[in-house]
Amino acid sequence: MKIIMLGAPGAGKGTQAKKIAAKYDIPHISTGDIFRANIKNNTELGQKAKTYMDKGELVPDSLVVDLIMDRFKEADCANGYVLDGFPRTIPQAEALDEALKASGAKVDFAIDVEVPDENIINRMGGRRACVGCGATYHVEFNPPKQADVCDTCGQKLILRDDDKPETVKNRLNVYHEQTQPLIDYYQNAGVLKQVDGTKDMNDVFTDIVDILSK
């Protein structure tokens, strides 16, 4: 079962991807994790990616696909995977499809977690991150035991710059311009499934499981 998660930043697709991975015993693969692992292990692909990242440039689509396809070869991907954070654009989706086709595979489901922009701005504005261990909380949905203090390490909790309303609006604009066209792309491919991301997190997951079980 090869699954791609779609949705705006803050829609909760990462959370759902982890839950899917745990239930079906398949890996949750994020491009950020792949980059970090390859750079840490000093692989040839990692070295190539690092040359772009060190200059503050985007890693070319062809190299990202190479990194992802290399990850798919690992034993834990034998029964599938959940891909989170890639593809982000139509050219990336096309490159991924071509690479999968060459190995006799294809995307089975593209799950779009739908949440209106105003919900996302409110949701992300309530997030708090620990300056010490990086744990995340939400003032409404997952508050710490003591306000602005991490339950785990006792360090201060902050509102990160990328969760501030003006930053979130910019990120949403980029999403609508670059990533939202993927919804039409996967709709045309016949693999798109949409869920209401404004529901309770567990209800969203129940809806996803219903889709994957059909």
Which CATH number characterizes residue 42's domain?
Answer: 3.40.50.300
* CA 82, 17, 24, 211 torsion-angle sign: negative
- Does residue 16 fall inside a structural domain? yes
Angle at 41 between CA 39 and CA 47, to 5 degrees: 40
Question: Is residue 174 very low, low, confident or very high in pLDDT (cuts 50, 70, 90)?
Answer: confident
The mean-pLDDT minimum among 10-19, 49-58, 97-106 falls in 49-58
pLDDT at 209 over 90: yes
Residues assigned a catalytic role? 13, 88, 127, 160, 171
Q: Give the C-alpha distances (Å, rounded to integers) separating 139 from 98, 123, 129.
A: 43, 9, 11
Output the six-digit token pair for 56.
């503050």
Please choose, from the candidates 7, 132, 143, 185, the residue with its C-alpha nearest in 3D space to the C-alpha of residue 82: 7
- Does residue 159 fall inside a structural domain? yes
The pLDDT of residue 192: 97
pTM for this entry: 0.82
- Does residue 158 fall inside a structural domain? yes
CA atoms within 13 A on the CB side of 124: 24
- Does residue 195 fall inside a structural domain? yes
Output the six-digit token pair for 200.
């309770």
The pLDDT of residue 114: 96
Give the pLDDT mean for 150-176. 91
- Does residue 214 fall inside a structural domain? no
Question: Is residue 104 very low, low, confident or very high in pLDDT (cuts 50, 70, 90)?
Answer: very high
d(CA 81, CA 96): 14
* Domain, as residue range, for 128: 2-204
d(CA 115, CA 168): 14
Tell me the pLDDT tens digit for each residue of 53-98.
888 787 888 899 999 999 999 999 999 999 998 998 899 999 999 9
Strands 127-130 and 109-114, sheet pairing: unpaired
- Does residue 76 fall inside a structural domain? yes
Question: Is residue 19 very low, low, confident or very high in pLDDT (cuts 50, 70, 90)?
Answer: very high
Domain count, the chain: 1
The 8-class DSSP code of residue 178 comes to: I
Question: Is residue 129 very low, low, confident or very high in pLDDT (cuts 50, 70, 90)?
Answer: very high
Give the pLDDT mean for 176-188. 92
Burial class (CB in 10 A: 0-12, 13-18, 19+), 5: buried
